Amino acid sequence: MEIVNSKFVTSATNVEQTKTLPRMSQVAFVGRSNVGKSSLINMLTGRKGLAVTSSTPGRTRLINFFEVVLRSRVEREMCKCGEANSYMMDKKLYVVDLPGYGFAQASKKMQGGWGDSLTEYLRASEDLKMVFVLLDLRHKPTQNDVDALVFLQSHELPFRILGTKIDKIPKSRLHSYIKDVVSVLGLTVNDVIVTSANEKQGKQEVLNVINGIVS
Ligand code: GDP
């Protein structure tokens, strides 16, 4: 499975702007600044510079829409000649890069602004099929992470946790890191997909989830 085409569509500062877009399924990515969100989107799309990685926390304050084409192989039943055959299926959707939340350098007022556009978008978007919440598993989830999950659960929005930068965790300790994080959040180990943009890990797992929920 592969994203074969991806392009930046628009950056929105508020939810009204997002409503003028042609309707398509949306999958959103959210997490605190510096968690590795841009790198992960670039890894999934195979486009290094698509989502702008920010060295200054909080530079990416906008709701960024990318139109992508996800291509998967569909196996057909054996034909009479005995040959299995397959065909390719393309699905078009929006990957939505949400503003990073909760970082020290931003003023309270500005944080409020981003938080508002973020929650407004999450509440209002009828085409939103999945929210991927990114967590760096080496760190205890922040209050912002907890708040985000409570918000998603209370609004019955489907979500999955993506553990980022796992190349920084010794393999022997990965399971205990995951367990520590999910116990804080009241989730299970199965709610987490582990990823590394640097080592291109987790790409197929995430694309599989997307393929399963987007028609
Ligand atoms: P964002 O602010 O959430 O979009 O995070 P970025 O994608 O800009 O990444 C923040 C920092 O983490 C950058 O210095 C990246 O090079 C680094 N980073 C991102 N993903 C990975 C990863 O999978 N492994 C490692 N080791 N570093 C990563």
> What pLDDT score was predicted for residue 169?
97
**How far is CA 32 from each of CA 9, 143, 164, 211, rounded to the nearest angstrom?**
23, 11, 12, 25
**88 versus 77: which is more confidently predicted?**
88
- Residue whose Cα lies nearest atom 24 of ligand 1: it is 165
End-to-end CA gap in the chain:
15
Q: What is the pLDDT of residues 83-109, one digit of tens each?
A: 768 889 999 999 999 987 754 444 444
The residue type of 48 is: K
Q: Which ligand 1 atom is at minimum distance from the Cα of 51? A: 4
Is the distance from CB of 62 to CB of 13 less than 8 angstroms?
Answer: yes
88 CA from centroid of ligand 1 (Å): 32
Closest of 169, 107, 108 to residue 135, by C-alpha: 169
Mutate to test the pocket of ligand 1, among 34, 37, 39, 59 (most ligand atoms within 8 A of CB): 39
Closest of 46, 99, 53, 88 to residue 68, by C-alpha: 46
The strand pair at 128-136 and 159-164 is best described as parallel
Within 6 Å (CB) of ligand 1, which residues are found? 31, 33-39, 53-54, 100, 164-165, 167-168, 196-198
> What pLDDT score was predicted for residue 116?
72
pTM > 0.95? no
Give the mean pLDDT of 70-75: 92
Mutate to test the pocket of ligand 1, among 53, 54, 61, 66 (most ligand atoms within 8 A of CB): 53
